Amino acid sequence: MRTRLERERVRAERVELADVVPDTVSFVGQLAILQLDAFMEYSQCARQAPRITTRRAAAHAASHALKKHDQLTELLSSLEADPIESMQRFAEPMARFRALTEPGNWQEGLLGAHVTTGILDEFFLRLAVGLDDEMTSKIRTILSADDGRDGVVLALRDEIEADDDLSSRLALWGRRMVGDVLLVARSALAQSVRQVGDGRAVGAKDNIEPVMTELIASHTRRMDELGLTA
């Protein structure tokens, strides 16, 4: 896990998203609501999955996301921002995204949560390099902690190997999700970037495309790992 994130960190620095200067409170607030949302998606799968092992895997992933959420809200308090207010304005876009990507069954839900957190955690990790050094380091520590993904991957593989029909539906679902998640990332960039004198977001426009390409490459690796065509 940590090794993968180390690799992503190197890639994040290669793609110069560091020129983008995010507004710290917006950045942390948005990331915090994303983690709470991940808790809700994973725990929904825990409720719907029939086997105890799958329920536990999804519940653990949910709990890890909540821990990140808690660390981020503590960070907001340490920045003298009100955690609820800082998250509130991002709640509505998240709810819209979830309404658009309502899964048809728990397997789609679990894949969706895995795909979403995979892409967005990496995206925010890349965006974090534009914060001040101390904050970048704090965000890296929070996002690099265990996220329970190994258990989720095992649970998804079990399902995928047991059912060819499900497997092809999940491949489609992953393809369907990635576009919507990348739109969330784009919107996150627009909403968390500090405006400069002329109202133009610093560096954002020039740097977003290569980052999107890298996010898609990581997504493809995650789908491969599950035995799914991206």
Single out the segment in contact with a second copy by CB under 8 A; choices: 8-16, 48-56, 116-124, 161-169: 48-56
Q: How far is the CB of 47 from a second copy (least distance, A)?
A: 5
- Sketch the per residue contact string, 5 through 44, with a second copy: x for CB under 8 A, - otherwise: ----------------------------x--x--xx--xx
C-alpha torsion sign, points 178, 180, 185, 189: positive
Question: How many residues contact a second copy, by CB under 8 A?
Answer: 23
Separation of alpha carbons 155 and 52, rounded Å: 11
Instruction: Name beta bridge partners: 195.
Output: 201
Residue 62 lies near a second copy (rule: CB under 8 A): yes
Q: Which two tokens mark 197?
A: 């004198």
Residue 77 lies near a second copy (rule: CB under 8 A): no
Single out the segment in contact with a second copy by CB under 8 A; choices: 55-63, 136-144, 191-199, 222-230: 55-63
Considering just the CA atoms, what is the radius of gyration of the chain in Å?
17
Residue 145 lies near a second copy (rule: CB under 8 A): no
Closest to 178 in 3D by CA, of 226, 218, 227: 218
Closest to 58 in 3D by CA, of 147, 152, 121: 152
Which position among 63, 144, 167, 187 is part of the footprint of a second copy (CB under 8 A)? 63
Give the contacts of 112 (CB within 8 A, at least 6 positions apart): 41, 101, 103, 173, 177
Single out the segment in contact with a second copy by CB under 8 A; choices: 20-28, 83-91, 180-188, 198-206: 83-91
Residue closer to a second copy, measured from CB, 9 or 69: 69
Q: Residue 222 in contact with residue 41, Cβ under 8 Å?
A: no
Residue 227 to residues 16, 119, 139: CA-CA distances in angstroms? Answer: 31, 18, 31
- Sketch the per residue contact string, 90 through 129, with a second copy: x for CB under 8 A, - otherwise: -x--------------------------------------
Q: Which residues bind a second copy (CB under 8 A)?
A: 33, 36, 39-40, 43-44, 46-47, 52-53, 55-56, 59-60, 62-63, 66-67, 69, 84, 87-88, 91
